[in-house]
Amino acid sequence: MCHRQRFYTRHARCGHLSYIAGGDVKVDCNSATCAHSAAHPANCPNCPQRLCTQWMRQAERIVRNTLPNLCPDCTANAAQGTGSA
Ligand SMILES: [Zn+2]
Ligand SMILES: [Zn+2]
Ligand SMILES: [Zn+2]
């Protein structure tokens, strides 16, 4: 069934991934019985009977590049200072 690919940058210093906004890609399964596919007919007789797949698979995470720094969250935490414990 159809799903989305979401792209991330990996930050090597903390190991976290940060989401690259706006880079999502839809991967079409080209199945006529999947309501999300472009191959699915607009006036599908099966959909009212819920015979077609109505949901998308969980998004796939793809690491597009790796940076040697901290992720934005960890950078913000570090900027707030850790010495007050
Ligand atoms: Zn599909
Ligand atoms: Zn359908
Ligand atoms: Zn981090």
What would the two tokens of residue 72 be?
A: 């934005």
Distance (Å, whole) CA 55 – CA 34? 8
Measure CA 9 to chain center. 12
pLDDT at 4 over 90: yes
Which bound ligand lies closest to the C-alpha atom of 15? 3
What is the 73 CA–ligand 3 centroid distance (Å)?
Answer: 6
Look at residue 20 and tell me whether its pLDDT is greater than 90: yes
Which ligand lies nearest the alpha carbon of 8? 3
Overall domain count for the chain: 1
Contact predicate 72/20, CB 8 Å: no
Residue 85: predicted pLDDT? 53
Domain that holds residue 46: 3-70
Please indicate, yes or no, if residue 82 is contained in any of the structural domains.
no
Distance (angstroms) between ligand 1 centre and the Cα of 41 equals: 12
Name the pairing type of β-strands 60-67 and 25-27: unpaired
User: End-to-end alpha-carbon separation of the chain, Å?
Assistant: 50
What does the pLDDT look like over 46-83, one tens digit per residue? 999 999 999 999 999 999 999 999 999 999 999 887 65
Structure token digits, residue 22: 């706006």
| 54 C-alpha to ligand 3 centroid (Å) | 35
Enter the pTM of the model.
0.75
